Structure 1
Amino acid sequence: MNEYERQAAEEVNRWLKQLRKSPSITASMAKRVQTKINHYIPQKVHDIMGDAIKHMVQGVIYGSQYFPKDSIQKAEQLEEADERVMNLIEVYQKGAAAEGAGTGAGGLILGAVDFPLLLGFKMRFLYSAASIYGLNLHDLNDRLYILYLFQAAFSSAEKRMETADTLEDWQEVEKEISKKTEFDWVSFQQEYRDHIDLVKMLQLVPGFGAVVGAFANYHLLGQLGEAAKQGCRLKWLKEKGLW
């Protein structure tokens, strides 16, 4: 293990500890506010969100729509992978912010349309980032790993703790996955739907949705970028026998 890999391993370890932290009082209060806001969102909007998450998960498991259009070469060294992914995060953050500002300006229903669009943004980013770190997108297990990275970024404190264990023990988790014939991702869908960032919900409020939409999308892509970077680093280090 070289010095860069040692520092990367320390950062991954801090990230895992962060995932395993108990929920703060602020987080609990934000959740209560979010729950109240949800009651004022029309059912049509909730249906759009639920369908979008369902189709995204099915697309990852059974489809190929999120595969990068151009072939992405795996990085030779971890430092190279990190640098390329940081550049990728910046590109996707800017694109997501611009898209969020446009749909956020349209109020409630048009703001909801942004939800499936942003999901597509997120998954295309994850697929590209994973390719840089050498994950095999044609391997179902690696695609499932990507979904767990998504879950690490966007879920409750309790689910993040569980996800941290899953990612760290992935080789054992894979053995259990191979024994299953069906995948129940209903809880995965519900977790994201229930714990989407509060500021993202505010994008649906007419009047200031454009500003909130741009900020929310930029923030959410950064949040996902950190999970992708650290989670892929973890897999890289484990496969190299350095974890």
Structure 2
Amino acid sequence: MMTYEQRVIAELDRWEDELLKPTGLLQSVSKRVQTKINRAIPAKVQQTLTSTVRGIVRSVLFGLEYVPKQPPLLGISLQERDERARALLSTYQKIAAAEGAGTGAGGIVLGLVDFPALIAIKMKFLFELAHIYGYRTTDYRERLFLLYLFQLAFSAPERRKELLWKIKHWERVASELPPEREYLQQIDWEQFQREYRDAIDFRKMLQLVPLIGAVVGAWANYGLIEELGVVASNGYRMRILEANKAT
């Protein structure tokens, strides 16, 4: 009989294969539609979205407002961590769905408000998840790890291999990191927000449609949190299993 850790390793192998699978026809068509949508968005709106993403990411890396009051959990099994992670994900899916339904019912103006609100919900979820898996988010490197998880969940397919490599080899990557402010200067903020927006475009655009906006907003936010939760949990599971191999 396989141990829990062996089952997780098998799950991670399947997940990694699925994550790195070449882009299919439907995704290619969707990408072309998204590109046309992006070109139709006024430059001022693009700049506002980029500034919003930059501001939230800066607050994540430099501030401590998202750091949970409870210390990281220590001395528990991976199985128990996974169970707590699933419970946390369920809670945040409900929070995000309620927020999406409220802004979706308000039309275009409130739909645009949902963009930064949803990012904030995702970041708070990631911080709490880190503590469930035993990592202290007062450390700048751990907050940067959260950022890589966020990017992997919503990045373009061609960037996933690079991001996954960094997550799988985080101890090596973290040891070579530049100081905080120097790292921030290296981020391509336009690309960051564009990839994130591309990943949610179709669902979030439907949220702006009158009459169905509330239903679509709840559905979109619920699914987006689930996608982030799967990537983030698997990222932490990889780190824990890798650390266990080294001991």
- Compute the TM-score of the two structures, normalised by the length of structure 1: 0.91
- Does 1:108 find its partner at 2:105? no
Deviation at 1:35, TM superposition (A): 2.0
Alignment of 1:68-79 (within 5 A): 68-71=68-71, 73-74=73-74, 76-79=76-79
Contact 2:72–2:130 (Cα < 8 Å) also in 1: no
- Give the corresponding residue for 2:3: 3
Q: What is the CA-CA distance between 1:16 and the residue it aligns to? A: 2.1
By how many angstroms is 1:163 displaced?
A: 1.0
Structure 1 pair 205/34, CA: closer, same or farther in 2 (3 Å)?
farther
C-alpha contact (below 8 Å) 1:20/1:164 kept by paired residues: no
**Partner of residue 176, structure 2:** 176
Instruction: Tell me which residue corresponds to 1:232.
Output: 236
2:121 maps to amino acid = F
Give the counterpart of 2:204 among 200, 205, 213.
200
Identity of aligned residues (%): 46
- Distance 1:112-1:71 versus aligned 2 partners, 3 A rule: same
* Conserved 8 A contact 1:48-1:113: no
Match of 2:224 in 1: 220
Instruction: State how far apart, in whole Å, the 2-side matches of 1:181 and 1:64 are.
Output: 15
State the distance in 2 between where 1:71 and 1:37 align. 43
Relative to the length of structure 2, the TM-score reads 0.89
* Matching residue's letter, 1:175: S
Q: Show the 5 A alignment for 1:78-93.
A: 78-93=78-93
Give CA deviations for 1:130-155 in whole Å, capped at 9, x if unaligned: 11101120111111111111111101
Matches of 2:171 and 2:13, distance apart in 1:
17
CA distance in 1, matches of 2:9, 2:123: 25
CA distance in 2, matches of 1:22, 1:7: 25
The total of aligned residue pairs comes to: 242
1:185 Cα deviation from its structure 2 partner: 2.0
CA drift of 1:67 comes to: 1.3
Structure 2 Cα separation of the partners of residues 75 and 152 of structure 1 = 28
User: Would you say the 8 A contact 1:131–1:137 is kept in 2?
Assistant: yes
CA contact (8 A) 2:72 2:135 kept: no
> Where do 5+ consecutive residues of structure 2 fail to align?
none
2:152 counterpart letter in structure 1: A
Answer whether contact 1:81 1:132 (CA < 8 A) is retained: yes
Q: Distance in 2 between matches of 1:160 and 1:75?
A: 32
Question: What amino acid maps onto 1:151 in structure 2?
Answer: Q
Once the two structures are superposed, residues 96-145 of structure 1 have per-residue CA deviations (whole angstroms, 9 ceiling, x without a partner) of 00110100111112101011110010000000011110112011111111
Partner in structure 2 of residue 150 of structure 1: 150
**Structure 1 residue 46: deviation in Å?**
3.3
Give the Cα–Cα distance (whole angstroms) in 2 for the partners of residues 206 and 40 of structure 1.
20
